[in-house]
Amino acid sequence: MKKELAAILGMPRWAKQFIAMSVDIVCALLATWLAFSLRLDEWHRLIPEQKYAYFLAVALAIPVFIQFGVYKTVLRFTGVHSMALMGKAVAIYGVLYFTAIFMFASPYIYRSIGLVQPIILFLLMALARITASLSFGFNARGKNGRPVLGTLLIYGAGHSGMQIASALRQSGQYFLAGYLDDGSEYQGSTINGLMVYAPNEIGRLIDTHGVTDILLAMPSIGRAKRNEILADLRQHQVHVRSLPDLVDLAQGRITVLDIKELDPDDLLGREPVTPDQVLIEKNSRNKIVLVSGAGGSIGAELCRQILQTGPKKILLLDHSEYNLYAIESELRESMQAQQKEGVEIIPLLGNVRDVARLDSIFKQWPIDTVYHAAAYKHVPLVEHNPAEGLQNNVLGTFNLAMAAQTYGTANFVLISTDKAVRPTNVMGATKRFAEMVLQALATNSKTCFCMVRFGNVLGSSGSVVPLFREQIRSGGPVTLTHADVTRYFMTIPEAAQLVIQAGAMAKGGEVFVLDMGQPVKIYDLAKRMIELSGLTVREPLVDQLSETNRQNGNAGEIGDLLGDIEIVITGLRPGEKLYEELLIGENPVITSHPRIMMAKEDFLPWSELTTELSLLQENLGRDDFAALIAQLKRLVQGYQPFYLKTL
């Protein structure tokens, strides 16, 4: 039976429409026979004088059903909308059929047939469609017996769209409902058996075809046009997804099951900056580069970007064995896929707090450039563990910087954060302290030290994007600390590219600040993610009806009608700000890059800073948390502790 069902599903669309039409013809004839049987109160025996009633049923029904688009719906996804559409068609047919029977009534054809037959016809057609839905919808399987994942429209009828359609058909994991395309030259045509529709037909297609997913297959369009499309799709309850890399698909490294969620830059909603290739390559091409924290979100992306520039060696330093293994494997696979040769990838287990380990690394390899991304960055965790934050973020930076200076490293770039500006948390204060270390060192060093300060990175570990995605996937609620929380955002690739370019512009001691564009309200980001997942935000009613129902104890029932995913406000976490800043002082200095500025930040001279570092080590040795916080308050401009729980 499964083979027969699969064979029918595999038929071209016109053949399946012909079968549906044939079933409706049988239903029309059967409904007429049953109407006569009910009128006569016995099983009807057809006589020649009654053939007119049977012929009229078919002659009127099929053209009306075609006109109403009954055969454009997908039977396996029969729902309320398709039943309502069929009901309207049968109602019009019923009026026409009754009129014809009334006008040409004879002793052998009864007027009551014109009333009863359309009702029976609707019931028979509904039964046929429900049977088809149960048979094909619930039993539909892809290849290898896997359940079908949904019904999908491909947005973009170009080369990429056709390629992914071919791959999807081979996998059998999605039903393809057709293409969407803005080009009028494509609309109304058929490509490999799939109809091309105009985007303004999305709502109808979702209802009639049971569409669950829309796949964006337009890799070459600009960000403005992509944002316009996404804004339109947010109005419909459909899951918007992104095209996988077609090279990876062709080479078998991924499958259509890896069709991915929208990229973080789709959620950001602005144009990323095209990198300056000269700056990208300046400090890494044919050089030995070390990346600390190489297995983290930013560190890993730095490694990916650096690999493309053709370095001599990449040294991957991380204290996490798994993260180090993951990024090393990814880089080696990338080299193999791109047939790159000559780049040596060296994984190094180690911690920036281990001076002896750093010394052995810099002795063994004449490192040209260091990108220091190793840090504890999760605000509440560092707030609860201030000593660890200071050890890692301040002393770890000092250790790595001293090793680089001692062994003649040319360039050292610290990855910093907007949370270092007038911080309300220990993490931000430790990062500003680390900046001050490099500023002081840079005044009398052959190594070019600089810092790059930027805001939140979409999709990084600890970012709201993966958290929100998991919460949406689990059915909610999406948790938000405050309705007005606003943050600067960048994508991981954009942040890494700007870090590399800023480092290439440094002369020594600069605090670079990245232009992050307009800040983003986290509530709006959460709402956008929910809507682009094909769901709606559950919000409370404020009208009189809701108040009446609440008084009657029906508030829970109301909630079910208001949307799918609730956004819950949990309250600000320890050390969290409503708004972040990028500058301590005013009037940043413009650079040659349109998205990179230099901040003018005060710092302690090296002679004073060494004293403070010694005091820091003494306070850490005594586990004197009060003294540590007091020292941070004294050194870090604007630091106002929000909350501290000592362990």
What is the pLDDT at residue 145?
47
- Residue 419 annotated among the catalytic residues of the structure: yes
Strand order in the sheet with 565-569: 478-480, 565-569, 537-538
78 close to 50: Cβ distance less than 8 angstroms: no
Q: What is the pLDDT of residues 463-522, one digit of tens each?
A: 677 788 788 878 788 888 888 887 767 778 888 998 999 999 999 999 998 776 677 788
Average pLDDT over residues 10-16: 68
Under 8 Å between Cβ of 350 and 326: no
Cβ contact 412:438 at 8 Å = yes
Please name which of 427, 434, 432 lies closest in space to residue 402, comparing C-alpha atoms: 434
* Pick among 3.40.50.720, 3.30.300.30, 3.40.630.30, 3.30.1520.10: CATH of 143-262: 3.40.50.720
The radius of gyration of the chain from alpha carbons, rounded to an integer in Å, stands at: 33
Residues making up the chain, counted from first to last: 647
| Nearest in space to 219 (alpha carbons), one of 154, 150, 175 | 154
Give the Cα separation of 267 and 242 in Å (integer).
12
Please tell me the predicted confidence (pLDDT) of residue 229. 82
**Which residues on neighbouring strands pair with residue 451, listed in sequence order?**
414, 511
Q: Where are the beta strands (DSSP E) in 83-227?
A: 150-155, 174-180, 190-191, 194-197, 213-216
| Residue 137 backbone dihedrals phi, psi, to 5 degrees | -65, -50
CA pair distance 35, 120, nearest whole angstrom: 7
Q: Where is average pLDDT lowest: 442-456, 497-511, 632-646?
A: 632-646
Q: Does pLDDT of 567 surpass 60?
A: yes
The full set of domain ranges for the chain reads 2-137, 143-262, 277-635
Contacts of residue 250, Cβ cutoff 8 Å, sequence gap at least 6: none
Q: What does the alpha-carbon distance between residue 389 and residue 632 come to, in Å, rounded to a whole number?
A: 12
Among 99-108, 383-392, 553-562, which is the least confidently predicted range? Answer: 553-562
Of 428, 429, 369, residue with least CA distance to 400: 369
Report whether pLDDT(391) > 70.
Answer: yes
Binning pLDDT at 50, 70 and 90, where does residue 355 land? very high
Triad 396, 402, 405: Cα angle to 5° = 140
Average pLDDT over residues 619-624: 91
Question: What dihedral angle (degrees, nearest 10) is formed by the CA atoms of 92, 97, 100, 101?
Answer: -150
Q: Which of 476, 474, 469 is nearest to 262 (CA)?
A: 469
Q: Is the pLDDT of residue 583 over 60?
A: no
Distance separating alpha carbons of residues 272 and 457, to the nearest angstrom: 13
Integer Cα distance of 280 and 287 in angstroms: 13
Phi and psi at 275, nearest 5°, equal -75, 155
Contact between 371 and 291 under an 8 Å Cβ cutoff? The reply is yes
Is 80 exceeded by the pLDDT of residue 90? yes
Query: Who wins on pLDDT, 473 or 431?
Result: 431
Q: What pLDDT score does 206 carry?
A: 79
Q: Give the pLDDT confidence of 243-267 residue by residue, as tens digits.
A: 655 444 444 444 444 455 555 555 5
439-443, 448-452, 525-529: the lowest-pLDDT one:
525-529
Looking at 51-65, 208-222, 277-291, which range is the least confident one?
208-222
Cα diameter, the chain? 117
Angle of CA points 125, 129, 132, to nearest 5°: 140
The helix (H) or strand (E) run that includes residue 323 is: helix 321-337
Residue 79 has pLDDT above 60, yes or no: no
Residue 10 pLDDT > 60? no
Query: How many Cβ atoms are within 10 Å of 2's Cβ, its own excluded?
Result: 10
How far, in Å, CA of 455 to CA of 478, rounded? 22
The structure tokens 């983003």 sit at: 520
Query: What is d(CA 298, CA 415) in angstroms, rounded to the nearest whole number?
Result: 9
Highest mean pLDDT among 241-255, 303-317, 591-605: 303-317
- Of 108, 136, 106, the C-alpha closest to 20 is 136
Mean pLDDT of 546-571: 57
Instruction: Please give the pLDDT value at position 563.
Output: 67
Peptide bond before residue 477 is cis, with ω within 30 degrees of 0: yes
Is residue 350 predicted with pLDDT exceeding 50? Answer: yes
d(CA 13, CA 410): 66
Give the residue from 153, 43, 25, 156 showing the smallest Cα distance to 93. Answer: 25
Q: How confident is the model at residue 233 (pLDDT cuts 50, 70, 90)?
A: confident
Instruction: Choose between 243 and 433: higher pLDDT.
Output: 433
Q: How far is CA 590 from CA 155, 328, 422, 501, 595, in A?
A: 41, 37, 22, 14, 9
Cβ-contact 238, 194 below 8 angstroms: no
Mean pLDDT of the chain: 80
| Confidence grade of residue 285 (pLDDT, cut at 50, 70, 90) | very high
Tokens of 157: 């009828």
293 pLDDT above the threshold of 60: yes
CATH superfamily of domain region 277-635 = NAD(P)-binding Rossmann-like Domain (3.40.50.720)
> What band does 627 get if pLDDT is binned at 50, 70 and 90?
very high
In the predicted model, is pLDDT for residue 82 greater than 50? Answer: yes
Run of H or E including 412: strand 411-417
- C-beta pairs of 352-355 under 8 Å, 24+ apart in sequence: 352/292, 352/317, 352/392, 352/396, 352/397, 352/399, 352/400, 353/391, 353/392, 353/395, 353/396, 353/399, 354/399, 355/399, 355/403
HSE value, Cβ hemisphere, 13 Å, CA-based, for 324: 19
Question: Tokens 């669309």 label which residue?
Answer: 13
| Annotated active-site residue in 16, 313, 419, 431 | 419
pLDDT at 113 > cutoff 50: yes
Model confidence at 141, in pLDDT bands (50, 70, 90)?
very low
pLDDT recorded at residue 553: 44
pLDDT value at residue 80? 58
**Which residues, listed in sequence order, are joined to residue 414 by a DSSP beta bridge?**
372, 451
150-164, 218-232, 490-504, range with greatest mean pLDDT = 490-504
